[in-house]
Amino acid sequence: MAEPMPVCLLRLEDENHGLEDYQRGVPRWCTGCGDNAILAAVQRVCRSEQVAPEKTVFISGIGCSSRFPHYMNAYGFHGIHGRALPVAEGLKMIRPDLHVFVSTGDGDCCSIGTAHWIHAIRYNMDMTVVLHDNQIYGLTKMQASPTSPRGLKTKTSPRGAYLEALNPLTVTLGVPNISFVAQGVDWIPEILHDLISLAFQHKGFSFVRVLQRCPEYLPEAFDPWVKDPARTLLLTHKDGIEPSPGLTKTYRNQEVHDPLNIDRAREIASMSDPIPVGVLYRNRDVPRYEDTRDTKRYTPDAIQHVLERELDKFTIWPAD
Amino acid sequence: MLNAVSDHTPRDREVPAGKPAVTLDEHIVEVVSDSGEGAQKCGQSFGSIAAKMGNGIWTVEIIPAEIQPPARSIAGASGSRVRFASHPVTNVGDYADLVVAFNEQVLLGRVEANELKPGCIIVLESKWRTDPHPGIAASYAQTHAKLVDRGYRVYEVPMEQECLKYVADPRRGKNMFALGLLCSIYSLDLQMGRDQVAFAFAKKDASVIGANVRLLEAGHQWAEENLDIKFRIPASKPREPQIVVNGNIALGLGVLASGMEICAMYPITPATAASHYLSDVFEDAGGLVHQAEDEIAACCFAIGASYAGKCAVTITSGPGYSLKQEAIGLAVMAEIPLVVVDVQRGGPSTGQPTKAEQGDLLSACFGSHGDAPKVVMAAATIEDCFYSMITARRIAELFNMVVVVLSDANLATAQQPFPRPRFDEAWPAAPTDQSRVPRGMKPYDWDARTGLARRFIPGQPGGMYCLTGLAHDRESHVAYDPRSNEEGIRHRSLKLAALQKTLKTPPVYGDEEGDLLVVGWGSTKGAIEEAVARVRAEGKKVSSMHMKFLQPMPSGVKEALRRFKKVMTVENSWCDRLDDDVIDDDNRRFSNLAWLMRARYLVDIDCWSEVMGQPTKPGTIAQIIREKLQ
């Protein structure tokens, strides 16, 4: 008879997930696409948090960014354009035990899905939402997006984009119940990892906008910022990110920003040059919809009890 | 159907003083007022008392589209119609025998809509005769004279003047005074009236209930002393307990009983009342009504919940149903169980939000782009509204499909007693197996014969896959090859056929063969069967059949159709009329069900429809049948 394996060893084997435990397939994004950087950061966060893959769901809409769930070894839900958030809300409502990530793009979130985005902030359900913002429609091949800078020439705006760009940071910070807003960039992977990690740890709707390069249609969009570290404003705080000495040496333009200070957060959100990077806002005290609306999970007894009670109200009893 | 028997029933304890009551087989009673004056509450309460006494009843609401339409306007009529009888009734019937009206303008609305029987009794608030505004007084006097002239039996009642003896604001209490009048006119048990008032105002405090009971009693007494009309419609207490609710509340009770835990919705008429009711009671049992930011979000929220657990439901009406189409397609493609309720109203576009129509059948079957097979069933009675929720959830989870349940504005507000449901523990059963997924099992391992595959649920070990709305293979990998696409479409379609094999042939009402078969679906069932019964009583060979499952349709229907010389549908969805000059066989558009059945059964099925926004009368259908048989 074989010696049973000690329980602790079994647990170690079961629960110690390596990076490869979160990887699936070979991403079909273009070489140099910022989505790859986000994928790497999320996989590292999963490993550092040791989340159980089967307890994790990646939900997306449509667009380049929304291919994300296909490359995570977890449950994935690649749905329809703009509607990832309400799907995620329904799922979280019935299964608060699952970790929920949402991948969305600037078209998916800030154009076709805007209503859901605004209201998802109000619900403040516990999920990590990463906005892959490359300022252009990629999958449909180069149309203006709501975050395209004014004047940008695209296939639908050959004479230059007509409208001022929408700023996702100021929008989110204008909605009641906002509880976590951060901004990262694909070219500083260390901070991207830290931000997504903080977003994951935050219990509520964590919104991380990531500026990412589209090598196919807007390869040079962020060049001035990539090449000149002084045009990045690093937001540091003990309740936000505390970058490594190596990084702080490169990115000398820094501000100690308390993530609870929403007025300053809104000012920072309005900056376009330099680009702020870090946690803009975090408030742990905002109520979560899944807690506010928590109903004790159903049992057949409870259903029968309420049903009979209700039927009693409407019943005509036979003559005695 | 007025079969007045003019024998004078002997007095007993239910007929208090003075007058003998005329025994009737049935009557149709309307109460109409300006919006906000409570005629609906009066009519419904009247119906409930009659039902509790053991009469057969069917009540419908008369609803204006606006919350506060102009006072004293023809279009603003708000109220309730009650058909009650000594036997069970299945529909709203033909023409009113008695109308209680709070002003002459809303009454005119009903007269002009041709809803009154010739010689109909009218009980009319008389205060307008002396209205300080000369235009109003003149209009009242004129209308009154005209109605009397046309042969209506008009009784003028100083309702507000009488109510003022008991309350400060008679406009807010005369509906209960009117209920008292009706209790006297129809010899209803006054104690049951008092109990009903207490029930209707259960959410208010005792002083409100007391004041309304006094008004009820005052109305009763006034009628006893001043009116020379008194009827009795014999009742027989049911042997089994019955419940009296409208279709929307039945839907809500059905959702509760079905074990579905989440109802996601966005406000829309006439569906919302189902969600109102659920919001009140669902959480006590652990359920949740989520009011989403829009119809699309409501559907996606339900899909997200269904994907991770028990099937969820979204309840809407036509415009909302249109908005949900893309999300419904996703649920079809990804094989997520989902129940969608469409309480139909007049369309297209905003159409007639408060009126009944059956125009959504084809969009229910074929909505959403591409080939998106889904189950479509229609409730035909209030009782169906309840049980269809339990059936829909079961089918949705067994077949991993979208089940669309069609109701309509007629069922939504109509009340009819039905046997009290007996709770079955199987109703709220847990969803599919949540144990570890065996190695090698695929998320879309379609069975070659039925198209069925086991559903994997997030949180389930070993089942991780990426669900997608893109064409996919058995492993849920995006399918770039044409064969996988076809394989998926084929198997999703097979599921509908597999379900079809389990459905029973709908019974034929009347003989199994004959000259004419009338086919219907949804809320027209009662009116069609009553019409068929009337014409059969004239010796004609007509029968009817009612379709509960519209997609797929059960086996045996074709054989049933072939046993009749002619087949026609009667629907409240538009069909072109051959007497219009430009319409002929090459361009005629058929009603929804006729389209479906002609295509499937290759039988030359005719159709008749009206889209008047109200339930079709049995008398109208009977006339159509007679013409068709000529």
Is pLDDT of B8 > 50? no
> Is there a contact between B301 and A298 if contact means CB atoms under 8 Å apart?
no
Q: Which two tokens stand for residue B166?
A: 């008991």
Q: Which of B2, B165, B199 is nearest to B95 (CA)?
A: B2
Contacting residues of B for A307, CB less than 8 Å apart: 253, 256-257, 285, 423
**pLDDT > 70 in chain A, percent:** 94
Contact A318 B283 (CB under 8 A): no
A298 contacts chain B (CB < 8 A): yes
B361 and chain A: CB distance < 8 Å anywhere?
no
Which whole number is the average pLDDT over A112-136? 98
Residues of A in contact with B44 (CB under 8 A): none
- The pLDDT, as a whole number, for residue B237 is 82
Alpha-carbon distance B396 to B318, whole Å? 21
Check if A100 contacts B (Cβ < 8 Å): no
Using CA coordinates, name the residue in chain A closest to B309: A94
Confidence of residue A3 (pLDDT cuts 50, 70, 90): low
Chain A residues 108-127 within an 8 A CB cutoff of chain B? 115-116, 118-119
* B218 to chain A, closest Cα gap in Å: 26
Predicted local distance difference test score (pLDDT) of residue B77: 87
Q: Dihedrals φ, ψ of B512, to 5°? A: -75, -10
B246 pLDDT more than 90: yes
pLDDT of residue B258: 97
Is residue B337 over pLDDT 70?
yes
pLDDT exceeds cutoff 90 at B146: yes
Q: Tell me the mean pLDDT in the region B292-315.
A: 97
Distance from CA of A76 to the nearest CA of B (A): 4
CB-nearest to A318 from B238, B285, B468 is B238
- Give the gap in angstroms from C-alpha A60 to the nearest C-alpha of chain B: 10
B49 vs A: CB within 8 A? no
Residue of A nearest to B458 (CA): A75
**Which residues, numbered 592 to 621 in chain B, qualify as contacts with chain A under a Cβ-Cβ cut-off of 8 Å?**
none
Per-residue DSSP letter, A23: B
ipTM metric: 0.95
Instruction: Point out the least confidently predicted range of B11-20, B94-103, B606-615.
Output: B11-20
pLDDT at B17: 55
Tell whether the model's pLDDT for residue A154 goes beyond 80: yes
Q: How many residues are listed for chain A in this entry?
A: 320
Q: What is the pLDDT of residue A313?
A: 92
Task: Using CB atoms, pick whichever of A303, A306, A314 lies closest to residue B244.
Answer: A314
Interface with A, mutate which of B282, B293, B393 (most A CBs under 10 A): B293
What contacts 24+ positions apart, CB below 8 Å, involve A223-231?
Answer: A225/A185, A225/A273, A225/A274, A225/A275, A226/A187, A229/A253, A230/A274, A231/A273, A231/A274, A231/A275
By Cβ distance, the residue of A85, A91, A299 closest to B307 is A91
Contact B469 A79 (CB under 8 A): yes
Given a cut of 70, whether residue B165 has pLDDT beyond it is: yes
Q: What rounded mean pLDDT belongs to chain B?
A: 94
Question: Could you say which residues from 43 to 62 on chain A have a Cβ atom under 8 Å away from some Cβ of chain B?
Answer: 53-55, 57-59
pLDDT of residue A15: 67
Q: How far is B457 from chain A (nearest CA, A)?
A: 9
Query: Residue B293 CA to chain centroid, in angstroms?
Result: 26
Lowest mean pLDDT among B104-113, B179-188, B378-387: B104-113
- Looking at the DSSP assignment, which residues form a beta bridge with residue B99? B30, B122
Measured in angstroms, the CA of B80 and the nearest CA of chain A are apart by 19
pLDDT at residue B218 in the model: 97
Q: Where are the beta strands (DSSP E) in B530-620?
A: 542-547, 549-551, 564-571, 606-609
Dist CA A81 CA A61 (whole Å): 5
Q: How many CB atoms lie within 10 A of CB A129?
A: 26
Output B430 or B181, whichever has higher pLDDT.
B181
Beta-carbon separation of B309 and A311 below 8 A: no
pLDDT in tens, A77-87: 999 999 999 99
Q: What is the pLDDT of residues A270-316, one digit of tens each?
A: 999 999 999 999 999 999 999 999 877 678 899 999 999 999 999 98
Is the CB of residue A233 less than 8 Å away from at least one CB of chain B?
no
A298 CB neighbours in chain B (<8 A) are 259, 261, 285-287, 428
What percentage of residues in chain B have a pLDDT greater than 90? 88
Task: Determine contact: A187 vs chain B, CB below 8 A.
Answer: no
Compute the count of residue pairs across chains A and B with CB atoms less than 8 Å apart: 208
Across A162-171, B56-65, B105-114, the highest mean pLDDT is recorded for A162-171
Query: Could you tell me the pLDDT band of residue A320, with boundaries at 50, 70 and 90?
Result: low
What residues of B are in contact with residue A293 (Cβ under 8 Å)?
A: 288, 290
Nearest beta carbon to residue B243 from set A293, A297, A314: A314
Question: Choosing among A23, A39, A57, A94, which should be mutated to test the B contact, i.e. which has the most B CBs within 10 A?
Answer: A94
- Cα separation, A88 vs A15, whole angstroms: 25
A28 touches chain B (CB under 8 A): no
Q: Hey, is the C-beta of A153 within 8 angstroms of any chain B C-beta?
A: no
Which of A93, A94, A115 minimises the CB distance to B294?
A: A115
The answer to whether B419 faces chain A, any CB pair under 8 Å, is no
Give B540-573 pLDDT, tens digit per residue.
999 999 999 999 999 999 999 999 999 999 999 9
B284 CB neighbours in chain A (<8 A) are 302, 306, 309
Three-class DSSP labels, B273-289: HHHHHHHHHHHHHCCEE
Between the alpha carbon of residue B576 and those of residues B513, B581, B586, B587, B606, the distances in Å are 28, 11, 11, 9, 11
Q: Which of A72, A93, A97 sits opposite B290 (nearest CB)?
A: A93
Q: Which of A17, A81, A91 to mutate to test the interface with B (most CBs of B within 10 A)?
A: A91
Q: Could you report the per-residue pLDDT of B80-137, keeping only the tens digit for each?
A: 999 999 999 999 999 999 999 999 999 999 999 899 999 999 999 999 999 999 999 9
Contact A54 B459 (CB under 8 A): yes
Nearest Cα of chain B lies from the Cα of A308 at a distance, in angstroms, of 8
The pLDDT, as a whole number, for residue A259 is 98
Mean pLDDT of B234-250: 92
Q: Cβ–Cβ contacts within 10 Å for residue B486, how many?
A: 12
CB A125 within 8 A of CB A95: no
pLDDT in tens, B516-540: 999 999 999 999 999 999 999 999 9
Flag whether residue B292 sits within 8 Å of chain A, measured between CB atoms: yes
Instruction: Verify whether the Cβ–Cβ distance A54 to B330 is below 8 Å.
Output: no
Strand pairing of A143-144 and A136-137? antiparallel
Q: Which of B39, B308, B55, B376 has its CA nearest to residue B187?
A: B55
Q: What is the mean pLDDT of residues A114-121?
A: 98
* Nearest-by-Cβ selection for A90 from B249, B285, B312: B312
Whether the pLDDT of residue B67 is over 90: the answer is: no
Cβ contact, residue pair A87, B300, below 8 Å? yes
Question: In the prediction, which pLDDT does A13 show?
Answer: 53
Q: Roughly how many angstroms between the first and final C-alpha of chain B, as a whole number?
A: 23
Residue to mutate among A71, A307, A309, A320, with most B CBs inside 10 A, is A307
Please state the rounded mean pLDDT for residues A238-265: 97
Averaged pLDDT, B467-481? 95
Residues 6+ apart with CB under 8 A from A285: none
Compute the average pLDDT of residues B264-285.
96
